[in-house]
Amino acid sequence: MAVWVIKGGEFGEREQRMLDNNLIACSWNKLPDISDCRTRDEITKAYRDAYPNAEGRTITSHVAQLNAFRHTAVPDDLVVLPLKKKGLAIGVITGDYTYSTNLGNDFNHTRSVNWLHKNVSRDIFDQDILYSFGSFLGFCQVRRNDAERRIRKIVEALTAD
């Protein structure tokens, strides 16, 4: 199992929709449904077709995030949503990748989530973990310093209260 961080947009514009709809979402608006993409190479082709002017590191970074969102993250993994105006939301991924146009153009690539806690204080996490939550990536895995075990321990304590 893993711990992932998802961003709710540059200004937090997707945060409330994620919480209200029990979803996480990535917003590559021009990218079509990648449900049929079985490999990273297929995601790369779909990305290049959708964003023909993208270059080098941008392609590498975006495809890595999309591949992780589509293939690597699995149900029962934890997900953390840093909130722009308050704390963090923490949930468990409950479903596979889906593509939907129901919730807006910036909310097409989704996974279902059971939000366990929607307003967790950042103060209960050590600084190294907070730095990971602050990654500039839109979707990434938190791995260093035994972070998964430490985060799960905090979630268990929150759930026990």
Domain parsing of the chain, residue ranges: 3-27+74-160
**Structure letter (DSSP) for residue 138:** S
For residue 25, what are the β-bridge partners?
Answer: 110
With beta carbons less than 8 A apart as the criterion, state whether 111 and 73 touch.
yes
What pLDDT score does 43 carry?
97
The pLDDT of residue 63 is: 97
Q: Give CA–CA dist 154/160, Å, rounded.
A: 10
pLDDT (0 to 100) of residue 27: 84
- Is pTM beyond 0.95 here? no
- pLDDT for position 71: 97
Per-residue model confidence (pLDDT) at position 91: 97
Q: What is the pLDDT of residue 103?
A: 85
pLDDT confidence of residue 21 = 96
What whole-number distance in Å separates Cα of residue 15 and Cα of residue 43?
25
Residue 93, pLDDT score: 98
Q: Are 92 and 77 in contact (CB under 8 A)?
A: yes
Which amino acid makes up residue 121? S
Cβ neighbours of residue 48 under 8 Å, at least 6 residues apart? 54, 59
Q: Are 112 and 95 in contact (CB under 8 A)?
A: yes
Cβ-based burial of 122 (10 A; exposed 0-12, middle 13-18, buried ≥19): middle
Query: pLDDT 10s per residue in the chain (161 long)?
Result: 899 999 998 888 999 999 999 999 998 889 999 999 999 999 999 999 999 999 999 999 999 999 999 999 999 999 999 999 889 999 999 999 999 888 887 889 999 999 999 999 999 999 999 999 988 889 999 988 899 999 999 999 998 86
Which pLDDT value is given to residue 102? 87
| pLDDT at 144 (0 to 100) | 86
List beta partners, residue 92.
78, 114
Distance between CA atoms of residues 22 and 24, nearest Å = 7
Give the side-chain half-sphere CA count within 13 A for 154: 21
In this prediction, residue 160 carries a pLDDT of 81
Which homologous superfamily is 3-27+74-160 in? ph1033 like domains (3.10.590.10)
Q: What is the structure's pLDDT at 8?
A: 92
pLDDT of residue 101: 87
